[in-house]
Amino acid sequence: MPRYFPYLFKMLHRDRVSNIHNELPTCCKRWFSWMESQILTYDPKLLSLRHVLSSGASINEAKEPGFKVLSSGWSDIGPIVAGAFINVATEQDVVVSITWATMNSVPIQVRGSGHMWINSLPSSGVVINTLPLASIAIDAASGTATIGAGTLVGEATDAAHAADVHLPLAACPSVTVIGPLLVGVLGRSKAFMLLTVTSESHQDLFYALRGAGNSFVAVTEITMRAYPKINRGIHFSRDLSFVPSEAVGEAVNALPRIPHAKMQLYMVSPAQPLLRLSS
């Protein structure tokens, strides 16, 4: 849709729009009614944001058909309650969207793969969807991988395998790399600018992020260390459950030590159920 159409109709008062509709010939009324339904239903605040986003970005408002798919995320349980999804295409779109939301007092969340299960947004809030910012560049010679905010673990795993390197990634292939790695979302200290954060530049922020500093920034890209592939890239994991027993601990302690192998034990205390169902 041409960008000038929303602004053409925005300049027309609704009463005047109705009068113009009545004055139009029949052949034009259908076109005008379609344009009115497409444009005059836009949130007035979002009109200004549409004008400054890049050409590759888009906005899905709650009343649009594609919104339900975006808001459900990875599960249909507890879909996001928001007024719109801002699907960014560039890092600058993230800056522009956060600035716009702050200037217009619009609550926001920054989202990657949609695995978050806590929703704090009111219906007037917007979600900045960073999933389109998917990119990965692996430099095996320097031992680094640069990964965009929308890159999924499964995508990064495939790229690492093709480059004969290992990357420290989460286990679930459908979450973003950055999400579980940094818990990098948006906090109160937004400065409306892009920063390259390293151990030499913006040191305080760099170490805050390494400590899961989810109250500081919206992360759009990271560079992580890539390790040479070992064991031909073969990995495996097993989840085993046992009833509480001293014998389990003794058996674990008796296992032979395997180089580079890791083991995690989770102890769960028996408790009364919080919810009982009866037929």
In a domain, 160, yes or no: yes
In a domain, 89, yes or no: yes
pLDDT: is 257 or 154 the higher one? 154
In Å, how far are 91, 97, 239 from 264, measured between CA atoms? Answer: 38, 41, 10
Specify the DSSP class assigned to residue 127: E
Residue 205 included in any domain: no
Same domain for 146 and 227, yes or no, is yes
Q: How many independent structural domains does the chain possess?
A: 3
Calpha distance 110→187 (Å, rounded): 10
| Residue ranges in 55-202 assigned as alpha helix (H) | 67-72, 91-103, 153-162, 178-182
Longest dimension (CA), the chain: 89
Position 236, amino acid: F
Q: Domain for residue 4, yes or no?
A: yes
Q: d(Cα 270, Cα 267) in Å, to the nearest integer?
A: 10
Clarify whether residues 55 and 127 are in a common domain: yes
Whether residue 246 lies inside any domain: the answer is no
Q: Which of 14-23, 41-50, 222-231, 234-243 has the lowest mean pLDDT?
A: 14-23
Q: Are residues 55 and 122 in the same domain?
A: yes
**Which tens digits make up the pLDDT trace of 2-12?**
444 443 444 34
Question: Is residue 59 domain-shared with residue 111, that is, in the same domain?
Answer: yes
Which value, to the nearest 10 degrees, does the dihedral of the CA atoms of residues 11, 17, 19, 23 take?
100
Q: Sort strands 126-129 and 108-111 into parallel, antiparallel or unpaired.
A: parallel
Q: Report the pLDDT value the prediction gives residue 249, as an integer from 0 to 100.
A: 79
Average pLDDT over residues 75-85: 75
Residue 122 lies in a domain: yes
Return the top range by mean pLDDT from 23-32, 39-48, 84-93, 205-214.
84-93
Q: What is the pTM of this model?
A: 0.64
> What pLDDT, on a 0 to 100 scale, did the predictor assign at position 271?
57
> What CATH number is given to the structural domain containing 110?
3.30.43.10
Given a contact cutoff of 8 angstroms between Cβ atoms, the answer to whether 140 and 99 are in contact is no
Instruction: Tell me which residue range forms the domain holding 159.
Output: 136-184+219-233
Please say whether the beta carbons of 217 and 205 come within 8 A. Answer: yes
- 134 vs 94: CA distance, rounded Å: 14
170 lies in a domain? Answer: yes
pLDDT digits (tens, 9 = 90+) for 90-147: 999 999 999 999 999 998 888 887 776 666 778 888 999 999 999 999 998 999 999 9
**Reduced DSSP (H G I as helix, E B as strand, rest coil) percent helix, strand, coil of the chain, to 5:** 35, 15, 55
CA–CA distance, 126 with 80 (Å, rounded to integer): 10
- Of residues 138 and 250, the one with the higher pLDDT is 138
pLDDT in tens, 145-194: 999 999 999 999 999 999 999 888 887 888 888 887 776 444 444 455 66
CA dihedral 159, 163, 168, 172 (to 10 degrees): 30
Q: Are 81 and 121 in contact (CB under 8 A)?
A: yes
